[in-house]
């Protein structure tokens, strides 16, 4: 029996191992998909069924795509008008993306929220790196990794390369005592494994903070950040972890 192809659309970067948040999309969908019925492929052309999951990649959607937890980068979209008129939406990252899809694009949109990277809690057991257990981990956005890598930081800080192998990044986040992150998925993975964390917004991103607030609202988490590493204070850390029901998010996956 020929299995139906399901094409995962994700941001595939050819630098080092790619951006870890985007690469997690492949792992999560591979784990969730029913391998008896479907054959998962990546970023191929002319496939009937296409899905977008982890990351701010909604702008790549076309008619009849399946949307599973992805989100907008900005509203209005920085990439320009969205051409689709019909999407198969099973979950979206947060209320801001939901509002855009339902009210601006007039799509049928269930109120199931969550970045699917949160499912790593059930799908991946990180390895603890003992020499990091007392470190403050810094996960820079990929665009400012070199800036933070070149700082002469005290020895209790540990810089994590967001373009390292995704599992290495997750292992390091899991192992550190606390996390400071200008990468959205640095914060999401911290919440996934209940690691105290704070957003760093020192170097402004072209896309602003929309995707962060979208995720924060999905978690009913206050939007608090620091403007530089020197503002780090343990009292500011978010320590409540993920609040989204993982069963609801997992059950929303369309190709079980």
Q: For residues 38 and 255, is the Cβ–Cβ distance under 8 A? A: yes
Q: 225 and 208: one domain? A: yes
Whether 256 is covered by a domain: the verdict is no
For the segment 134-143, what is each residue's pLDDT rounded down to a tens digit? Answer: 999 999 999 9
Q: 11 and 100: one domain? A: yes
Q: 100 and 136: one domain? A: no
In this prediction, residue 203 carries a pLDDT of 93
Question: Angle between the 184-192 and 20-32 helix axes, to the nearest 10 degrees?
Answer: 50
Task: Tell me the average pLDDT of the chain.
Answer: 97
Q: 151 and 203: one domain? A: yes
**CA 17 to CA 240: how far, in whole Å?**
30
Whether 205 is covered by a domain: the verdict is yes
In this prediction, residue 176 carries a pLDDT of 98
**CA 187 to CA 174: how far, in whole Å?**
11
For the segment 107-121, what is each residue's pLDDT rounded down to a tens digit? Answer: 999 999 999 999 999
Q: 86 and 55: one domain? A: yes
Q: 132 and 170: one domain? A: yes
Whether 204 is covered by a domain: the verdict is yes
Q: 65 and 142: one domain? A: no
Neighbours of 245 (CB within 10 A): 12
Q: 90 and 169: one domain? A: no
Question: Angle between the 20-32 and 166-175 helix axes, to the nearest 10 degrees?
Answer: 100
Own/partner long-range contacts of 215-219 (Cβ < 8 Å, ≥24 apart): 215/71, 215/93, 215/94, 215/115, 215/184, 215/187, 215/188, 216/94, 217/94, 217/95, 217/96, 218/93, 218/94, 218/95, 218/113, 218/114, 218/115, 218/244, 219/191, 219/243, 219/244
Q: 103 and 125: one domain? A: no
Q: 142 and 176: one domain? A: yes
Domain of 56 in residue numbering reads as: 4-116+245-251
Indicate whether 25 pLDDT > 80.
yes
Total domains, the chain: 2
Q: 96 and 163: one domain? A: no
pLDDT band at 206 (very low <50, low <70, confident <90, very high): confident
Whole-model pTM over 0.85: yes
Whether 51 is covered by a domain: the verdict is yes
Q: 136 and 220: one domain? A: yes
């Amino acid at each position: 029996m020929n299995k139906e192809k399901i094409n995962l659309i994700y941001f595939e970067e050819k630098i080092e191992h790619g951006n870890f948040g985007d690469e997690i999309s492949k792992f999560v969908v591979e784990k969730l998909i029913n391998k008896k019925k479907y054959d998962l492929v990546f970023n191929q052309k002319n496939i009937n069924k296409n899905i977008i999951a982890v990351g701010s990649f909604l702008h790549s959607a076309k008619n009849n795509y399946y949307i599973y937890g992805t989100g907008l980068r900005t509203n209005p979209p920085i990439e320009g008008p969205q051409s689709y008129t019909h999407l198969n939406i099973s979950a979206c990252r947060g209320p801001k993306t939901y509002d855009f899809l339902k009210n601006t694009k007039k799509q049928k949109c269930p109120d199931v929220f969550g970045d699917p990277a949160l499912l790593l809690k059930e799908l991946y057991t990180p390895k603890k790196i003992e020499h990091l257990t007392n470190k403050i981990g810094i996960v820079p956005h990929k665009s400012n990794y070199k800036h933070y890598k070149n700082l002469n930081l005290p020895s209790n800080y540990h810089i994590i390369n967001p373009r390292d192998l995704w599992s290495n990044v997750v292992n390091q986040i899991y192992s550190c005592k606390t996390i400071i992150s200008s990468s959205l998925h640095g914060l999401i993975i911290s919440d996934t494994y209940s690691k105290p964390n704070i957003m760093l917004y020192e170097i402004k991103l072209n896309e602003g903070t929309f995707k962060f607030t979208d995720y924060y609202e999905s978690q009913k988490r206050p939007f608090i950040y620091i403007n530089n590493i020197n503002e780090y204070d343990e009292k500011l850390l978010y320590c409540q972890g993920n609040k989204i029901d993982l069963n609801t998010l997992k059950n929303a996956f369309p190709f079980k």
